[in-house]
Amino acid sequence: EILAQLPPIHIRKTTVPCPWDKKGQVMRNIIKKTEGQKRLLIDGVRLSLEQGTVLFVPDKEKAYFHIQTDASTAELSEKLLKDYVEYMNTWKS
């Protein structure tokens, strides 16, 4: 019964290649862009947005970032993922 009362959550995930020497730059840009927003900085950056959440986690062993979004609809989750992958691609260049 309790599970039926919870709103649906749609999760999308991807990995984005990022050279080792750019990971710090990307993290600084994420933190700078999200200044003033509700966020959690543990092992990455988790943004709590009105539309959903976005999680950035740098891979500890490979030259990648993992990005995960969740939202109330699949379309919104996909849009968040697309937008933040685009941001990340500009931050690492």
Report pLDDT digits (tens) over 83-93: 999 999 998 87
Biggest CA pair distance of the chain: 49
Could you write out the DSSP letters of every residue in the chain?
Answer: -HHHHSPP-EEEEEEEE--GGGHHHHHHHHHHHTTTS-EE-SSSEEEE-SSEEEEEEE-SSSSEEEEEEEESSHHHHHHHHHHHHHHHHHHT-
Taking only the tens place, the pLDDT of each residue in 29-84 is 999 999 999 999 998 999 999 999 999 999 999 999 999 999 999 999 999 999 99
Predicted structure pTM score? 0.88
